[in-house]
Amino acid sequence: MKIYTYPKSRSLIVFWALEEMGAEYELIRVDLLSPNPRVVSPHPCGKVPFLTDGKVSVSETLAICIYLCEQHPDTCLYPTEPQDKASVNSWLSFALTDLEAPVWNLLKQMVFIPEGKRSPDMMSYFTHEAKNVISRINLNPTHSWIAGSSFTLADIFVSHSLQWAKLCGIEMHEEIDDYITRAMSRPAFLRAQEKNNH
C-alpha cells in the first residue's frame, strides 16, 4: 500500500488512521510545489493524499480513510453496527461541511494569501462563521469521544479541523480544548504527525 503525500498536508488524517490501525504502508513524497517535479502524485489533478493498493486507487481523504477502515474491519475506527455507524457518519459530514468550510477559508486567508492581499471582510466573516459552528458542538458527557465510547474516524476529522481553528486564533471553551488535547496526545497521532512533517 502506497500513500502519496506532501509535508504538513491533509495527508496527516490518512496517516493518523493508518497508525491507529497499525497498518503497514509506504509513504511517497511528491514534489507538489516544484515547477519541474521528479515525483508526482497519480491523482488526476496531482493532489495529495492519494492511495494505491495493488490495482485499487483512491483519491480524497475521507474516501481513502473509509477504504482503509473497510480493509481493517477489526478496528473500531468505523463501526459496522448501523446506529453507531450513523453517528460516526453524521459527525464526519459535520466536520467536512459545516466545520471545515469556514475554518479552511480562514486558514487560507491567514497562511496562503500574502498579508497585503488578504481581505479583512472575508477574514471577519469566516472567523464569525467558524466561531458559530464551534459553539454548536456539544460533547455528550456520557461519551468518551465525539460519537460514543470508542475513538473513531469522526474524532480524527473533527479534532483535525478544530486544531486548524486553534491555529487561526479561535478560542475554544475548556471542554473542546480538552477534547483536542486528548485526541492529539494519542501515540498514533504523534507518529502520524512526525511522518507528515517530513
* Model confidence pLDDT, tens digit, residues 86-138: 999 999 999 999 999 999 999 999 988 998 999 999 999 999 999 999 999 99
* Model confidence pLDDT, tens digit, residues 37-80: 899 998 888 899 999 999 999 999 999 999 999 999 888 899 99
Q: What is the mean pLDDT of the chain?
A: 94
Which tops the pLDDT comparison, 88 or 36?
88
- Answer whether residue 196 shows pLDDT above 80: yes
What's the CA gap between 7 and 27, in Å, rounded?
A: 11
Residue of 94, 102, 84, 98 lying closest to 150 (CA atoms):
84
- Answer whether residue 33 shows pLDDT above 90: no
CB-CB neighbours of 122 under 10 Å:
14
Predicted local distance difference test score (pLDDT) of residue 74: 87
Name the residue with cell 492581499: 117
- Answer whether residue 160 shows pLDDT above 80: yes
3-state secondary structure of 61: helix
- Check residue 148 and report its DSSP letter: B
- Answer whether residue 198 shows pLDDT above 80: no
- Answer whether residue 174 shows pLDDT above 90: yes
Helices (H) and strands (E) in the chain, counts: 8, 4
Reported pTM: 0.95
3-state secondary structure of 173: coil
Predicted local distance difference test score (pLDDT) of residue 76: 86
Give strand pairing partners of 42. none
